[in-house]
Chain A
Amino acid sequence: MPRYFFHLNRHDKPVLDINGLTFLDHQAAWEEATMACGEMIRTIDGQLQPGESWEMEVTDEAGKLIYRLRFIAESCE
């Protein structure tokens, strides 16, 4: 099964996934990414400021970017 890597970028602090996880295909990796993002976004608290962002990048074993999920906080005034 192909191995996928789920890297995080929280308020510009990268958390690199070194080991990765194996999944059947892109679709299974997408499901993992969306569900994990849901769990982690749940913990965003009042410290998040406009202009900050949070993202997850899913890459394959060759380092090719497959998915990116972004949560962006903006002030629109």
Chain B
Amino acid sequence: MQSIPTRSLDNRLLSALPRAQYNLLAPHLATVSLLSGAVLSEPGDEVDHVYFPNSGMLSLLAVMRDGKAIETGTVGREGVVGAMAGLRPYKSFVRVLVQMPTRVSKIASHSFRTVVATSEQLRNLCIEYNEVLLSQARVIAACNALHSVEARLCRWLLQSEDRANSDRVALTQEFLAEMLGVRRTSVTAVAKTLHDQGVINYSHGVIHILDRHKLEQMSCECYQALLDQSAMLESILSQV
């Protein structure tokens, strides 16, 4: 008798799938560890793999012609990157960046398409997940245009702490500046202000969150908005 591969329960989309659907995917899934800073794809690349994170966080960045980039979405264990490749050969419009050490279950796009073609449930998941990314991008677009660098940095640190499952987040100034689409000097000034107020400790590229409650107060409403949206969409996706 062929053994059934161990079910990866960490990715919540995979764990919400009915057993029969999961078993179709399981033989094609490979679990790999990705290093912080790795780029999985650039805008214009054909998506060759679909990634279901089991821990950590992947960032979706819009990239400008002069090289400037800004985060337009993040995907953790609640989601998937590249799901559109389940419907057709798909070119990415974003840079996919590994934001912290991340474990993923990955599947080759062509294998994913073969399985999706046999499953209406998986097809619906590929379509519905676009709504998750779109709603996230709407909040982040508004946040980037309307909110202060300080509030945005607080929002970003809270999200990263949730994803990293640790109150220590290893980040360089350059990296933070890129995620927020601001100058390094602005990041330094805001990080110093938060440090002086005892909210974070920032040294040697590692941010240690000291006062999460204060950080939540200093963040804009977008942190909570993204959490609420994500919870609502997750419950819809689990019923797809």
Interface residues of A (CB under 8 A from B): 6, 8, 15-19, 21, 32-33, 35-36, 39-40, 42-43
Contact = CB atoms under 8 A, between A and B. Distances in A.
B150 interface: yes
Contacts of B188: 6, 17, 19, 21
In order of increasing CB-CB distance, the 8 nearest A-B pairs are A43-B148, A36-B185, A36-B183, A39-B186, A6-B185, A36-B186, A35-B183, A15-B192
Range for the number of chain B residues in contact with chain A: 10 to 19
Given A6-B189, A17-B192, A39 B184 contact: no
Interface of B: 148-150, 173, 182-186, 188-189, 192-193, 196
Contacts of A36: 182-186, 189
Nearest to B193: A15
Nearest to B185: A36
Contact of B148 (A8, A33, A42): A42
A14 to B, nearest CB: 10
A33 B192 contact: no
B186 A15 contact: no
22 contacts: A6-B185, A6-B188, A8-B189, A15-B192, A16-B192, A17-B188, A17-B189, A18-B192, A19-B188, A32-B184, A32-B185, A35-B183, A36-B182, A36-B183, A36-B185, A36-B186, A39-B149, A39-B183, A39-B186, A42-B148, A43-B148, A43-B150
Contacts of B173: 21
Contacts of A42: 148
A16 to B, nearest CB: 7
Contacts of A35: 183
B192 A32 contact: no
A40 B192 contact: no
A29 B149 CA distance: 20
Contacts of B182: 36, 39
A4 B63 CA distance: 28
A76 B34 CA distance: 59
A26 to B, nearest CB: 15
Given A21-B185, A39-B149, A39-B183, 5 more contacts: A17-B188, A32-B185, A36-B183, A36-B184, A36-B185
A17 B195 CA distance: 12
Nearest to A44: B148
Nearest to A8: B189
B180 to A, nearest CB: 9
A46 B53 CA distance: 43
Contacts of B150: 43
Contacts of B148: 42-43
Given A8-B189, A15-B192, A15-B196, A21 B149 contact: no
